[in-house]
Each structure stands twice: as C-alpha cells, then as structure tokens.
Structure 1
Amino acid sequence: MTDFTTTDYFSDESVAADTYPYFDFLLEGRRVWREPHHGVVMVAGHEEVLTVLRDAATFSNVNIVAGPSFKFPVELTGDDVTEQVEQCRDAVPMGDQIISFDPPKHTAHRGLLMGLITPKRLKENEEFMWRLADRQLDVVLPGGQCEFIDDFAQPYTLLVIADLLGVPESDHPSLLRQAGVGRRLLGDTGEDEGRPHHPLDFLYGYFTERIEELRREPRGDVLTGMARATFPDGSTPEPVDVARIAANLFSAGQETTVRLLSTALRLICDEPGLQQRLREHRELIPRFIEETLRLESPIKGAFRLALKTTTLAGVEIPAGSTIMLLHGATGRDPRQFECPHEMRIDRPNVRQHISFGAGIHTCPGAPLARAEGRVVIERLFDRTNEIRVSEAAHGPAGARRYEYLPTYMIHGLRALTLEFS
C-alpha cells in the first residue's frame, strides 16, 4: 500500500484524479488522522463519520465548504468556541446558506425546506421525470451517441428541480440558457452571452422576484405555496431566504445527482454482465443505485468545525479544529462492508452507506436523487438494446481513459461519451 503520510490531499493532482488509494491508506489504521500540511483532522471510518454527523452540538457545519486553509477573523481559543464562531458566521464562505447553519436556525430553515418537498410533490415530480427523460432522449438517441453529462444529465437534473419547485415549463428554456447547460436540447450554437459568473447566481434574482410577486398576487400553484410558506414558529421568511433555499437545492442537488447518474452509466457499461442483469431484472435497479452511492459517492468529503474539545476514536480534537468527513471513504470501510471494493448489488447492508449524510443534516433531496437514477436507467433500457462507452473517446474495455474533476470534495467524471443501439 502506498504511504501517503507526506501527501497533501488538498493539492496533489494525482490524489484528486484517483482518491481511493488515499482513502485505503486512511482506513488501514488512520480512520481519524491529523494530516500534516493544514492540520485538518481527516475522518475516514464509517462509524467515526457517523459519530460526527450525529453530534451537531460538538461539530458545527459552519465551515462545510470553507476549505482547509480558511481562518476565522478572530483566534478561536478555549475548550468551547461556540460563541466566538457565532460572532463570525458572516465571514465564512456560504455562510448565508442552509448547509452551513446550525440549530436553532438550521431547524427553522430545514422545516421550511421540508414543507416544500412533500411526498405529494415528489410524486408529481416523478411523473414529470418520465416525460422529461423521453423528451431529452428524443433529442440524443437519434444520433447514436451523446456526451452524457452535458447533453443529458446536466439539463435533466436542473429541470427536475425546477419542476419540483414549481417553475413553469415556459421558463425552463430560459433557466437552461442562464445556467449554461442543455445547448443541444435548445438547438443553440455559438457563444453564450450574458451568462452570470457563477451559473446559478441568477436563481437568487429569479426566485426573489417570483416570491415577492406571488405574495402580492397568489395563484394557487407550487411557487405560491413557496411564497406563503412560514417557519415552524409561524413567522414569515424574507423572500431572499426562500430564494436561497431554492438556489441551494439547485446547486447541491444538481451537481451531486449529475455525478451519480454518470457514474451509474459508466458502471453499467464497464462491469461485465451488469447491464444485461439489470435489463432482465429491473427490480434490482434501486439496489444498484445504492451500491453505486456506496462504491463511488458523489461527495468525497465535507468540512466540520469542532466547537468543543473532544476525543474521537482515541484522537484528541481541540476546539476550533477543522475536520474533514470523508464520505467517499466510509463506503469502503471493511469493518462495515465485506469486500468493499467490489460491486455487489445483492449485499445485505447495501443501504447502510452514508453518501447522503446522517443526523439533522441528512440530504433532504435523497428521495429525489434516487428517483432520478431509477427513472433515467429504466427509460434508457426501455429505448435501447445496448448502451456502450465510446472507445473513440475513452479507449477500449480494460484500458479506459477517464478524466475526473480535480477537486477534493466532489467525485465525478468530466465527461462520458456513450453510444446507443
């Protein structure tokens, strides 16, 4: 096994391209380990990550995307830095987003979000997923191949969330253009004009404007429900608070689901016998999606901050320490999963992965992502006899050439060219 003791996980490009040897290194006796370059406490073990996820009083989400080198504007001192952190939240990247909130603010905003993602709404949204899948396949299948991420997954996941939140279908082409995705579906050519610096910045303005409009003139649709939603205590959120929740659902839900879909299709094509087995036994598709999440979680890891001095797996963690929870490693913990590097859709504990997190911050979009995966795979199977990875783009089976996103938080392909019969 490679010794990664002196490797900088956060800057080494070879680790970003293939993280799993590094994860194996941690799981082999370093399930909680302070890496030497930034002083970040790396938590790789399944049990240890669960412990952190379930203890929001000790481990804060405030720095969830802040990075290994972020420094608070004041020095965090003492064995309990909770009050100091609260005074500095505005200085933390994404500090205005629900993913970085802690109770009681998180409780209120999550209550608002869950009021929007109801079982009834999810069922209606799934009906839209089937129609949308057919609509997009009508565009990409006739050509016999597509670059799956740009041509299908990116626009598909964006429009699924748009429908969930009640964005009228008449606004969908505008959303695709402003987000810079779905060019093939829209029939666009040439350079984009007027696209915001961040592809989802426009959502703040879109939803704030719509919420204000529908509070003045309610219409009885889903967006009106968003506009009239209240916090659990009965108070009315500011329009921008609702807009932030909606935009966060877009940004977090779209990116991770795109990576899930592309990984699932790659595995379907590359794992010997898997595609035929799933085609013949469609009831196994949900289990396959769970095993995909376990084996190659879209989230490599996310940060936490120790609010109080504590001990985890025998390792002392002083208050103020930056922690990185390695979701991508937990699915390969041999203490939890037998033969963890193998794809086994019939493993008995297939749903015990924690790719969607756990505790109060469990991903609220988990049912949505699972449904998207199932619908896309089923519809592709319905409308094709065979799906293949393009050898021209990625090389022959057994010697594939895949490029992965060079990040320390997200696991996913840059591109995936598929061919269809």
Structure 2
Amino acid sequence: MITPAADASPLGAHADLASSRASLPGSEAPGAPHLLGLLDVFGDDFVRTPHPWLDLLRAAAPVYLDPGTGLWLVSRHRDVRRVLLDPAVFRPDNAQDAVTALPVAALRVLARAGFQLPPALANNGTDSHPGLRQVVARFLSSRRVAAAVPAIERIAGELLSAARSRLDSDGVCDLFASFAQVLPCRVLMDLLGIDGTAPTELIRWSDAALELFWGRPAARQQVELAELVGEFHTWLADTVQSRTAAPESLIGALTRHRLPGGEPLDPQTAISVCFFVFIAGQITTGQLIATVLRRALAEPGLWPRVAHEPGLAQGWTEEVLRREPPVTTWRRVTAQPVELGGVELPAGAQLLLALMGAGSDPEVFAEPGRMCPHRPNVRRHLAFGAGSHRCPGAALARAEAAVALRSAARALPQVRLAVGEAEPPMLGLLSFRAPLRVMVTAQ
C-alpha cells in the first residue's frame, strides 16, 4: 500500500511556500529568508502542517537560527544523526530545560515541593548515564516486552469493551481519552511495579510536566502547572524515600544501584530517573497510539485489513513513527565550536534536532510524503533518537501501538472518524505533537 500523506498539501496561509520550496537549490533560494521569517514553531500553521516548513528548512537552511526561540533548527537526517551519535561534542545537558522561562511564582511553588531534577537520563552527559540507562533498559527489554504482549492485549480489550459500550449508549466515543492515553499508562505501571496512584493522576501530572517544560504557557498557567508538577515530584519523593517499593520494581532496582565510584544512588537522582521514565514511558506512547489510530481511520480501506493482515499494524506504526512521531524534536548544546551542515556554530549553541523532519528527508526515504507500511528502510528514522541516548522504551512503544491498532480494528470494526474531525485539537509543544482527540462514531 502506497498512499499520499494527508499533510502533503502546502500551507493554506502561505500558499507560496510549496512553490518556493520546489525551486530551492540552497540557502540563496529566492524568497526563502522571507518565508523562514514567518516560521513559528508554536504557531498553528507549523503544528497542523509542519512538513512544508520542514521541507523548506532542509532545502534552504538545514542548520537555521530561529530568532523566535534562539535555537538552531537542524533538519537533515545526516546532520541530526551526526549530532545524536556524538554526545561529547553535542551534549544532552539542555534536553529537559524549560523552554519558557519560569516566573518567580512558579519557581516558588516548585521549591516548596523540593523539586529538582539532577542529570539522570535524557539530560545526563556524565559517566553515571550508562549504568542508569541499563537499569531502566532491563525493565523495557525486548524479552520483557514480548512477554508482556498478552497483558497489553488484555488491558486493550478491557478499555475497548468500555469504549464499545460508550459508542452504543452515546453514539460517539473519544478513543484518545478512553483508550490511547490509558493503555500505555496501565501497562507501564504493571511493568515497573508502580502503585499508590491512579492512572488518571499519573496522566494528569505528566501532561502538566510536558506543558510546563516544553510549552509556551502564560505566567498564570505556569503557576497552575507547577502545582501539579510539584504534586508529582512529592509523590515520587515519598515513594522513592519510603523504601517500601518491591525489590523487583524499578524503584527497588534504583535503590540497589551503585554509581561508577561504588557509592549508592542518591534519592534525588533516583527521583529524576523516575520522573523522566514515568512521563516518557507512557504519555508519548499514548500520543503515538492516538496518531496511529487517527491516520489508520483516515486511510481508505486500511481499518478492516489491519485487524487481521499479518505485519500491517507493525508496518503502519513504523511509518507513523517516521512521518509523524510524537517526539518531533530534541535538544542538544555544543560543547565547543563546531561546523555542522556547513554552518560554524559557537560553543554553547542550543540545537533543536528535527526528528520528524529527518524522517521525511528525501535523501534517505523515497517519496517521503507517502505512507508505505512496508517501506524497506523505514527503521532508519530517528523517532527514538540514536546512539547512547536512544530511547530504551522503543520496543515497548512499538508493541503497544501495534497491539492498540490491531485490537481496536478488531473490537470496533464499524467505526469511522466522526463528522467534523478533519482538524482535531492538536498538542503543539516544542518537542511533542499529537491529536488530542480521536472522536469516532459507528457507521
């Protein structure tokens, strides 16, 4: 199956973008500086139809200093991959820094909660990173994920049964809120031995953390989000420091972990590990599932096939990861002056790696705007990063999304996207993008 991507059309607000892009030989392309001056990575144009902008960046300015954020946007596959594979020169230290400066009132809220996130996983460039990553990776290994598939299918079945009841009673159902969000949260809690809180609470805390650190909220909203993030941190601190976690749980493993010098892991770093894993391990997978479901429902003829055709759910998931990953960008900072993509960067340059843009680079992927579930080189995308900081939860995210799609197509064979759902509300943070609603109705 080879089909045009739904977002292959040019931006409605800037219809000249596609025609300008088509003739761009390089950074001197006529009109390119003017068009890039209109780019707003938080704007509705970019959030809803990012690919024309990413195409323009790759063709005209593959390493581009965005005046709106002060970040260097890196959009070509080869440049993004080079950065990810060289953490000594392109350090991960800024990966979890707040995108929007926090006001004093929000900082006070976090301080009262004892909030601090020392380097642990995504933002850790020290020699403690390999060991900490290994602890987490053991819980998310391919072997453990394969063994967990029956449990994933069971939980999916329970959630879809409730969704079917809601469809029967109300005529419509939101598969994002009732299914896509909840499935990975429950699975992660089982895998990591998390208890003491409800899935809905963990989702609410995680959403708040993403918005606070990767969004552009107003000052008053930042204070409200900080309250929720503080609650999350307090719960994590109580859980880690209580020493009551089961020995076979992630928290139990962290309490036994020793740093390279032989000293035990300090509680704050253990909390930081959990903070990142509990967010990244479920909220981004929920976003992936939402996109996978939505794109499958919009694809003519795919929904009935994906229920039973071997490998189709996995192939569709992989193409969504390539074309519309939930983690669209990631940050790095240069440790020294360096040349990248023909641009001389100073030490301390803040980089924004366009993981989504790299997945549609025509130098790597033929006809990148087409969804091809059996594309031979599809796993060359960088949706999970690369190198020593590659996402340890990749196998789990792939498995959950494929199971979710196949299970939903089997349990709800007659559903379709509800009328008026052509443009659902979208999550549009600096590094995260997904539909916030997948409203379906029975045919």
What is the TM-score when the length of structure 1 is the normalising length? 0.81
Instruction: Look up the match of 2:238.
Output: 209
Size of the alignment, in residue pairs? 377
Instruction: For residue 390 of structure 1, report the CA deviation from its aligned partner.
Output: 0.7
Between the aligned partners of 2:296 and 2:137, the Cα distance in structure 1 is 33
Q: Deviations over 1:230-255 (max 9, x none)?
A: 13645321234323212211212222
Pair 1:328-2:359 in alignment: no
Instruction: Look up the match of 1:20.
Output: 51
Instruction: Look up the match of 1:222.
Output: 249
Amino acid at match of 2:433: H
The answer as to whether partners of 1:157 and 1:257 remain within 8 angstroms in 2 is: yes
Between the aligned partners of 1:178 and 1:294, the Cα distance in structure 2 is 28
Amino acid at match of 2:429: T
The answer as to whether partners of 2:247 and 2:253 remain within 8 angstroms in 1 is: no
Instruction: Look up the match of 1:402.
Output: 424
Q: Structure 2 matches for 1:22-421, cutoff 5 A?
A: 22-66=53-97, 96-144=119-167, 145-168=172-195, 171=196, 174-177=198-201, 179-180=203-204, 197=226, 199=228, 201-214=230-243, 221-222=248-249, 225-226=252-253, 228-231=255-258, 233=260, 234-391=262-419, 393-394=420-421, 400-420=422-442
Instruction: For residue 97 of structure 1, report the CA deviation from its aligned partner.
Output: 4.7
374-383 vs 6-15, which moves further: 6-15
Between the aligned partners of 2:62 and 2:330, the Cα distance in structure 1 is 15
The answer as to whether partners of 1:310 and 1:317 remain within 8 angstroms in 2 is: yes
SS at match of 1:316: strand
SS at match of 1:143: helix
The answer as to whether partners of 1:301 and 1:324 remain within 8 angstroms in 2 is: yes
258-267 vs 106-115, which moves further: 106-115
The answer as to whether partners of 1:40 and 1:68 remain within 8 angstroms in 2 is: no
Q: Deviations over 1:8-35 (max 9, x none)?
A: 4345342233222210111223222223
SS at match of 1:98: coil
The answer as to whether partners of 2:135 and 2:254 remain within 8 angstroms in 1 is: no
317-326 vs 154-163, which moves further: 154-163
Amino acid at match of 1:384: L
Between the aligned partners of 2:428 and 2:377, the Cα distance in structure 1 is 31
Between the aligned partners of 2:57 and 2:263, the Cα distance in structure 1 is 46
The answer as to whether partners of 2:92 and 2:124 remain within 8 angstroms in 1 is: yes
Instruction: For residue 405 of structure 1, report the CA deviation from its aligned partner.
Output: 1.9
Between the aligned partners of 1:18 and 1:245, the Cα distance in structure 2 is 34
Amino acid at match of 1:266: R
Instruction: For residue 287 of structure 1, report the CA deviation from its aligned partner.
Output: 1.4
**CA gap 1:316/1:200 in 2 versus in 1, 3 angstroms:** same
**CA gap 1:284/1:16 in 2 versus in 1, 3 angstroms:** closer
The answer as to whether partners of 1:54 and 1:359 remain within 8 angstroms in 2 is: yes
Between the aligned partners of 1:341 and 1:149, the Cα distance in structure 2 is 25
The answer as to whether partners of 1:404 and 1:412 remain within 8 angstroms in 2 is: yes
Between the aligned partners of 2:311 and 2:43, the Cα distance in structure 1 is 41
Between the aligned partners of 1:7 and 1:95, the Cα distance in structure 2 is 36
**CA gap 1:14/1:254 in 2 versus in 1, 3 angstroms:** same
Between the aligned partners of 2:228 and 2:441, the Cα distance in structure 1 is 28
SS at match of 1:323: strand
In structure 2, stretches of 5+ residues that fail to align are: 1-15, 18-31, 103-115, 206-223
RMSD: 2.8
Between the aligned partners of 1:367 and 1:99, the Cα distance in structure 2 is 17
The answer as to whether partners of 1:305 and 1:320 remain within 8 angstroms in 2 is: yes
The answer as to whether partners of 2:117 and 2:269 remain within 8 angstroms in 1 is: no
The answer as to whether partners of 2:118 and 2:272 remain within 8 angstroms in 1 is: no
- Same amino acid, percent of matched pairs: 25
The answer as to whether partners of 1:67 and 1:303 remain within 8 angstroms in 2 is: no
The answer as to whether partners of 2:181 and 2:287 remain within 8 angstroms in 1 is: no
Between the aligned partners of 2:242 and 2:67, the Cα distance in structure 1 is 52
